[in-house]
Structure 1
Amino acid sequence: MLSPVKRKLAVLPLVLLPFATVAACGGENTKTDCNLNACTITFDRGVDASASILGIKAELVDVKGNNVTLKVGGQQITVPVGEAEQSEGFDVQVQSVTKDNVVVKISNSG
């Protein structure tokens, strides 16, 4: 039988796991805002931009007009601004495109 202190120490990693998942988002030439089920990523344009979020890597590949090409979890997809596509079990929605950045929301589709 575990003592109360050992029991609390054994449970502590499980309690902290959701916070580690939220804190584990970030990237290069991006800003991220994540919760347990979704991340909004602001990619800088004109540079290599990627983010590690929700256990996958998301990269901005190209922007042509209102079509944004992304690589999500290794799969390349093109998503029109204001629309959503699915990739690797995630919903990928392009929220906006400006001359300086691209804002994308990626969420669990399940």
Structure 2
Amino acid sequence: MPGLDDVPYPCRVTNRPLSPSLTPTRRAAGLLAGLALGVALLAGCSSEGASTDCGLDACTVTFDRGVDASASILGVEAKLIGAQGDQVTVEVAGEQLTLTAGQQAAEAGGLQVTLDSVTDQQVKIRVAKGSSS
């Protein structure tokens, strides 16, 4: 009778796991953390008549002109009140600001607000956390 060494491709069984398995508790904790992060990212920016592009500490909001445009970003509401020429009035964190493209950031509710651009169709502002001190 041939031995194991005589078989061309011997099968050997070992009891070593190929990869460490996660316990059900760790698996559930990871799933919950992932879900919480996803919900936080989705809840971080919402808009109506506007589009948002948010990072960790700043958002760019592009408002459509001619509609009631608003966005919820960085925990506050931002609304386009009006635009005339190169001046734009927005409300951020309950404070009305009149902005001109190229001017230094204005502060509202601890956030720095600047006007990036204004066209016939859109107004683009940048809202960032922190102060300019």
TM-score range, shorter chain: 0.7 to 0.9
Comparing 40-49 and 9-18, the one that deviates more:
9-18
Q: Per residue, is there more strand in 1 or in 2? A: 1
Partner of 2:92: 72
Partner of 2:72: 52
Residue 100 and residue 91 in structure 1: after superposition, are their counterparts in 2 closer, same or farther (change >3 A)? Answer: same
How far residue 46 of structure 1 moved from its aligned partner, in angstroms, is 1.0
Identity of aligned residues (%): 42
Q: Which segments of 5 or more consecutive residues in structure 2 lack a partner in the other structure?
A: 1-22
How far residue 12 of structure 1 moved from its aligned partner, in angstroms, is 5.5
Partner of 1:102: 123
CA distance in 2, matches of 1:17, 1:85: 33
Cα offsets for 1:84-103 (capped at 9, x unmatched): 21110111011000000000
C-alpha contact 1:71 1:77 (8 A) present in aligned 2? yes
CA distance in 1, matches of 2:75, 2:120: 29
Q: Which segments of 5 or more consecutive residues in structure 1 lack a partner in the other structure?
A: none
Q: Which has the higher contact order (CA 8 A, sep 6+)?
A: 1
Among 56, 61, 74, the alignment partner of 2:81 is: 61
Larger Rg: 2
Number of matched pairs: 108
